A and B are shown apart, each in its own frame.
Chain A
Amino acid sequence: MYSETVMDHFKNPRNVGEIENPDGVGEVGNPVCGDIMKIFLKIENNIVIDAKFKTFGCGAAIASSSMATELVRGKTLEDAWQLSNKAVAEALDGLPPIKMHCSVLAEEGIHKAINDYRVKHGLPPWEETSSHSHEHGEESGCQL
């Protein structure tokens, strides 16, 4: 069902845990839907110097969190914002169609953490340009 890369990131997740005094935090998902991701970012000079996560969810949700935090580390905030759910899924060598919403959650979690940082610094939050923001519930069949 899952690629070897997904299983590797599920069984040996990178960046699990929390950052003390994070510069940005984003929590997305819902326990009723069966997945919650919490993303922590440490940001210096506009660069993501550390990213960690805590996730409640299936194997794909854990692997997506692990991969997304790996991909944004070392990136500028602008580049980190550009990380798409597709890029996360591709880096994992693909996700089953019904699990694509897990990669969407990862993208949204990163976005929320970045905007948390921006708002804390008196900057206007960036707007979601992708059409993903409302797909999660539909894709997972989770009606809230």
Chain B
Amino acid sequence: MRDRLLKGVLEKIPYARLNGHPTERLAGNFNVSFEFIEGESILLWLDDEGICASTGSACTSGSLEPSHVLLATGLPVEISHGSLRLTLGDANTEEDVDFVLEVLPKVVSRLRDMSPLYQKAKEGGS
């Protein structure tokens, strides 16, 4: 189920990257970074849709520092600000995965539309 969610996220959302190892990790968990947007604003929108996630990134619970773990993996600071951690538990269903895959791309796209960084990347032809 986690693999389907991860695969869906990476397929549906451009400029997204998996942080950490694809298989050597906890069964229900993954951490992805979305370029050009900031993690807390992703969380606020997901929360609004009833999806609970975390950002090992800027603006978490009183700290504005990006995750030192992500930085240690060599991820650039500006990209680590846009990271999101999703964890599935045994209460989650395939429908939950479908729901996240429906909501998350819209949230990312909405935030990118207002990001000056995304605009620059598009103009740069990348």
Which residues of B come within 8 Å of A, CB atoms?
36-41, 44-45, 48, 57-59, 62-66, 77-78, 81, 113-119
Contacts and interface: CB of A to CB of B under 8 A. Distances in A.
A98 B114 CA distance: 23
Interface residues of A, number: 29
Given A10-B44, A98-B64, A140-B64, A34 B38 contact: yes
A141 interface: yes
Interface of A: 2, 7, 10-11, 13, 16-18, 27, 31-32, 34-38, 53-59, 61-62, 98, 140-142
A59 B40 contact: yes
Closest 9 CB pairs of A and B: A31-B78, A34-B58, A58-B40, A54-B116, A34-B81, A38-B116, A56-B115, A58-B59, A32-B77
A55 B115 contact: yes
Nearest to A142: B64
> B63, B81, B113, B119: which has the most chain A beta carbons within 10 Å?
B81
Given A31-B81, A54-B119, A57-B41, A13 B65 contact: no
